[in-house]
Amino acid sequence: MIDWEPLLLTFKLALITTFLLVLIAIPLAYWLAYSKSKIKPIIETLVSMPLVLPPTVIGFYLLVAFSPSNMFGNWLNEWFGLQLVFSFEGLLVASIIYSLPFMVHPIQSGFSNLSKSLIDVSYVLGKSKTTTLFRVLLPNIKSSLLTGIVLAFAHTVGEFGVVLMIGGNIPGKTKVASIAIYDEVEALNYGVANTYSLILFGITFTILLVIFLINGGYLKQLLK
């Protein structure tokens, strides 16, 4: 029998990361889509960096930053009792940063593709920015939100380099499925590695398929 802990940990990490990313990415994407600020290109670049940087680079800098022997890591530890190196919380922070562009980009382009006059109409009708966001903008970019959620979730399930750097390989705490597979291969347990891999393959395939079916409107046609 295989050890289910790495798989459970992976999906726990992916779920929490995705949930927090929704909360972070909506305001950020809103700002990126509508702001005319001069620092916008810099923020846009920073958000996109995880797309091109090797995950080990991000992992390395996070490791250095969060280390308790460092000022920032020390401050986190003293003020919040947060130890981000080799802990689940650390994995969470790293995953959020690493998957940020996968959530922000679809939502940002969703906002940008909406007609600007929808916002104008809502303002002229006396509605606040918040009302406009929740009742006009978000309901009209549902498919972008869904795409962002799925991509961020799937990407977190699949990450390896970052979690290995910042999380180490502590069973039950930071040993996620992708690392477990690596471990098993190193120990020449190909059978177990194969089981993990098949499960990951099956689950992610199913999730992505469902999303494409929903976004493509195939499900609606089937239900008719």
Site residues for another protein per CB under 8 A = 115, 117-118, 120-128, 135-136, 139-140
Of residues 69 and 115, the one with the C-beta less far from another protein: 115
Nearest 5°: the CA angle 186, 189, 194 is: 105
As a whole number of angstroms, the distance between CA 40 and CA 47 comes to: 11
Of residues 75 and 123, the one with the C-beta less far from another protein: 123
Q: How many CB atoms lie within 10 A of CB 1?
A: 5
As a whole number of angstroms, the distance between CA 89 and CA 95 comes to: 10
Q: DSSP H helical segments within the chain, as ranges?
A: 5-34, 40-52, 55-66, 71-80, 88-113, 116-124, 129-131, 138-140, 142-158, 161-167, 177-186, 190-215, 218-223
Q: Residue 203 CA to chain centroid, in angstroms?
A: 17
Of residues 74 and 128, the one with the C-beta less far from another protein: 128
* Shortest Å distance, C-beta 120 to another protein: 5
* Shortest Å distance, C-beta 31 to another protein: 19
Of residues 21 and 26, the one with the C-beta less far from another protein: 26
As a whole number of angstroms, the distance between CA 188 and CA 120 comes to: 62
* Shortest Å distance, C-beta 136 to another protein: 6
* Shortest Å distance, C-beta 206 to another protein: 28
Of residues 128 and 206, the one with the C-beta less far from another protein: 128
* Shortest Å distance, C-beta 151 to another protein: 23
| Radius of gyration (C-alpha) of the chain in whole angstroms | 20
Identify whether the C-beta of residue 151 lies closer than 8 Å to the C-beta of residue 8: no
* Shortest Å distance, C-beta 126 to another protein: 5
Q: Residue 168 CA to chain centroid, in angstroms?
A: 20
Of residues 145 and 193, the one with the C-beta less far from another protein: 145
